[in-house]
Amino acid sequence: MDKIAQSANSARSRRGGTFENKIEELLSTMLKEKKIVSFKRSPKIFDGEFNPDFIVEKKNGQIVSIDSTTTARTDRLRGKQWDAYGTKLYFLENEKKEIIAVVVVQDSNTTKKEADNFRRCKARIMLPHSALDGVVSIDELVTLLEE
């Protein structure tokens, strides 16, 4: 891989890590304010076969699996679908709980292209075999977790 590609990959990785840290800070604040019961970052589901970014328990007992992405693209959803599927299976089989799985997109409103991608991603998860229950912005995530 050439240096330009390495630099671009490194920048994307840092951006993704920064976004995950922002979500973790948000969840920490919600936990301190008792708006959620608990959360775990980077849980390893079925010995690491499935890796959502966060698992959150809401005050009503509902479990929410959260994955994040810094750009709304349908190809990114494929891996997120797999993690959502496995995480739901794990909680159903081992915890006897049904959960919802969402992807939080960072840049849903920055450009027309990203806004269009965000709408397409929201439509794609409505397909009958989608394991994802939503593609949401940060604001929508907060609302979901406070319900």
CATH number of residue 114's parent domain = 3.40.91.80
Q: How far apart are CA 4 and CA 139, in angstroms?
A: 34
Give alpha helix (H) positions in the chain: 3-32, 74-90, 112-124, 138-146
Name the average pLDDT for the chain.
85
The pairing of beta strand 99-105 with beta strand 134-136: parallel
Instruction: Tell me the average pLDDT across 10-20.
Output: 63
Q: How far apart are CA 82 and CA 32, in angstroms?
A: 31
Q: How far apart are CA 91 and CA 128, in angstroms?
A: 21
Residue 109 confidence (pLDDT) above 60: no
Q: How many structural domains compose the chain? A: 1
Residues 114 and 107: beta-carbon distance below 8 Å: yes
More confident residue, 4 or 107: 107
The band of 11, judged by pLDDT with boundaries at 50, 70 and 90, is very low
More confident residue, 14 or 121: 121
Instruction: Tell me the average pLDDT across 100-119.
Output: 76
pTM: 0.84
- Residue 139: which domain range? 3-146
Report the 10 Å Cβ neighbour count for 87. 24
